[in-house]
Chain A
């Protein structure tokens, strides 16, 4: 690998890499993102490598682990080029067949294709699968094409051309104007216009200036930043370098949580390779511009996703936020102007520079431009990462792309915006997703978590869950957040345990108001959102918990009982054997009974009871019927009567 000293040289190197590879040479791309690895992708990759070797195809076929294409539900995902045949849920056992059939014979292995659950139609290519077809994948679309550990793969798809264009043809001010014109808003939560933030830093007094990537993706149930940083780290580095040029920074940081070891590894390798090629370091592409990037690992504190807290953590101290009378783009890291943007925001920058602001603004609504990646999780058929233009209605995301709610259950709510966001009910499903639209509806965009909930999810418990999360993650610096949230959590926990009392809702509202008004940082100010939005849309659930001691979703452990319907029980012994607390009595041909004293309400009996019997029921808000008398417990089978 030799240093590239000018944009022309970059193009030459690019052409050389492209010409080195025959475009018709088969390439097996296997998703090596965290979701697929957890489903066994590492074994599949190893099996492909072994099989290719066994069949003596090492010279003719490439095999690579790539970034995450988003369809985690059906992982491990394998795509075979140049035909772009997409196989899902591939197991090591399938590998020999795929190699001999698809790679050698160019035949499709039917059983590994996507089958449309409604029509039964099979889809051979990625683009034919409804999950992908309805997306606009500007940012994550390339993930499956590149090996994140190999910079050449990124160069093949046009990587670093935006940087070359920036350094050779644009002034810092032109870059700034382009980003401003594109109205790129921060993808991390606040939605603050990136261009304005950059300009503030550029004009602020003080040297040196810093640019920082916020990869401390702490929202539970959100993993799009990880997919981008893991799958296409160079796109983030390129965006960061362009940003640094625009504001005049020569030092950058990537703050990535240590819970993402693969992201840390891939971005560290990417930095090293970019340095070797001369995309980072001194005199980048012969332009005279110097820029270095360092990786800092976060040690596990949700509050460090907040800009000032993150900068404090970078300085090697406990990450507590500070009041923002002066924004961090003016006084930030080490007291110097510092631009902090999230991973996805930075990854959008090269796209804007390459294609222009007009291209970028064709996607989205009036105030929210471009595309946004959402992590669609929870009670949803197709869990995964979904990139859509801003303004796409929630209904399209959940039903057209997500495939709706599994198990024939009814949709109840979708939670957006992470712990500080809110829950939106069925009536608001036609809402277009955008920064301002979601805020108006009482939720927020956040970093793009989208958690779908069905009729079995208790909304009071959801509010309690988020409050518990936020209470644990509160840094403890200001009183409204530290003490107020603790009290809110206490009250909500009592409600879910059936100890709620009149006046609890009002008290929670008062505490919320105080936190919104008086907390120090955005984390505290938005902490009551989960409660307020569930109260707004699901007040009747709160009232049922408090007044009737009943959980309408049959979810709160302390308010439900498991009961075996004697008319339905067929004494199959399934639940009896599986019950971890030995709380079920019965025997062969003896109707089973749950001992309510012993029952820990783990729900195992409910899950293992065969669907055709459906004998185990959850009861809430009413007393459990007394057990049937001993003499009535014996089941006399009709067939045996004769």
Chain B
């Protein structure tokens, strides 16, 4: 990741240590994951020990310390989706992609995550792929949708 962009993000938050989480969120949004060099730069500029950054990067779910795939699958497992059969949808996606939640496949094609409620409960079970919401999913329909991504 470009050091220049990292510095820009840090400067946007006035190099303020209490904005550490906000800085990391912006880096995550920009780069999709947190590379080691980026974290080291943040530690250096904000004067925060690396252990604290590691603590935060592993504590909060928004952060990833490994690269992500080209397509991000977010399967909602909120309560409303759960009672409408989200676990069967998750099983299908796991079967088709061969990855578990939190993992990325070897071709860097898909990354799979579960999320707790996307707030579209009327459409449950919901699967979000690259920001597009697919509602009223069932195992067979999920398989059809996944075919559209390469």
A→B interface (CB under 8 Å): 34-35, 37-39, 72-73, 75, 218-223, 226, 258-260, 296-297, 299-302, 313-319, 375, 377-379, 383-384, 415, 419, 449, 451, 453, 457, 462, 465-466, 469, 475, 557, 578, 580, 600, 602-604, 607-608
Q: From known contacts A34-B118, A38-B123, A602-B139, infer whether A299 and B92 are also in contact, taking CB-CB under 8 Å.
A: no
Total B residues in contact with A, Cβ cutoff 8 Å: 46
Complex Cα distance, B139 from A571, in Å, reads: 22
Main secondary structure of the interface of B (DSSP, over half): helix
B→A interface (CB under 8 Å): 17-22, 24-25, 52, 55-56, 59-63, 77-80, 82-85, 87-88, 91-92, 95, 115-124, 126, 133, 135, 138-140, 143
Complex Cα distance, B62 from A319, in Å, reads: 13
Q: Are B77 and A604 in contact (CB under 8 A)?
A: no
Q: Are A300 and B60 in contact (CB under 8 A)?
A: yes
Q: How far is the CB of A584 from chain B (nearest CB, A)?
A: 13
Q: Are B85 and A603 in contact (CB under 8 A)?
A: yes
Ordered by A's residue number, 21 sampled pairs between the chains whose C-beta atoms are within 8 Å are A37-B133, A38-B120, A38-B133, A39-B123, A221-B80, A226-B119, A259-B118, A301-B60, A301-B61, A318-B59, A379-B83, A383-B121, A451-B80, A451-B83, A465-B82, A466-B79, A600-B95, A603-B85, A604-B140, A607-B138, A608-B140
Q: Are A219 and B80 in contact (CB under 8 A)?
A: no
CB closest chain-A residue, reference B123: A38
A39 in complex: contacting residue of B24, B55, B56, B135, CB < 8 Å = B135
Q: Are B77 and A220 in contact (CB under 8 A)?
A: yes
| A75 surroundings in chain B (CB, below 8 A) | 122
Q: How far is the CB of A217 from chain B (nearest CB, A)?
A: 8
* Residue from B62, B84, B85, B124 with most neighbouring chain A CB atoms (10 Å): B62
Complex Cα distance, B120 from A375, in Å, reads: 11
CB closest chain-A residue, reference B18: A316
| B56 surroundings in chain A (CB, below 8 A) | 299, 316-318
CB closest chain-B residue, reference A412: B83
Q: Are B22 and A379 in contact (CB under 8 A)?
A: no
Q: Are A379 and B84 in contact (CB under 8 A)?
A: yes
Q: From known contacts A72-B120, A73-B122, A580-B92, infer whether A220 and B62 are also in contact, taking CB-CB under 8 Å.
A: no
Given contacts A318-B55, A465-B79, A580-B143, 4 further A-B contacts (CB under 8 A): A75-B122, A299-B63, A451-B83, A580-B92
Q: Are B120 and A35 in contact (CB under 8 A)?
A: yes
Q: Are B116 and A469 in contact (CB under 8 A)?
A: yes
CB closest chain-A residue, reference B138: A607
Complex Cα distance, B136 from A38, in Å, reads: 11
| B19 surroundings in chain A (CB, below 8 A) | 316
Q: Are B79 and A457 in contact (CB under 8 A)?
A: no
Q: Are A299 and B60 in contact (CB under 8 A)?
A: yes
| B143 surroundings in chain A (CB, below 8 A) | 580
Complex Cα distance, B105 from A372, in Å, reads: 44
CB closest chain-B residue, reference A462: B83
| B18 surroundings in chain A (CB, below 8 A) | 314-316
Q: From known contacts A316-B18, A580-B92, A580-B139, infer whether A297 and B117 are also in contact, taking CB-CB under 8 Å.
A: no
| B133 surroundings in chain A (CB, below 8 A) | 37-38
Q: Are B83 and A457 in contact (CB under 8 A)?
A: yes
Complex Cα distance, B24 from A419, in Å, reads: 28
Q: Are A451 and B122 in contact (CB under 8 A)?
A: no
Complex Cα distance, B60 from A603, in Å, reads: 34
Q: Are A218 and B88 in contact (CB under 8 A)?
A: no
A453 in complex: contacting residue of B59, B83, B116, B124, CB < 8 Å = B83
| A378 surroundings in chain B (CB, below 8 A) | 79-80, 83-84, 121
Complex Cα distance, B121 from A449, in Å, reads: 11
Q: Are B116 and A603 in contact (CB under 8 A)?
A: no
Complex Cα distance, B85 from A603, in Å, reads: 10
Complex Cα distance, B20 from A383, in Å, reads: 38
Complex Cα distance, B88 from A378, in Å, reads: 16
Q: Which 4 A-B pairs have the closest CB atoms?
A: A220-B78, A299-B60, A300-B61, A377-B80
Complex Cα distance, B79 from A218, in Å, reads: 12
| B123 surroundings in chain A (CB, below 8 A) | 35, 38-39
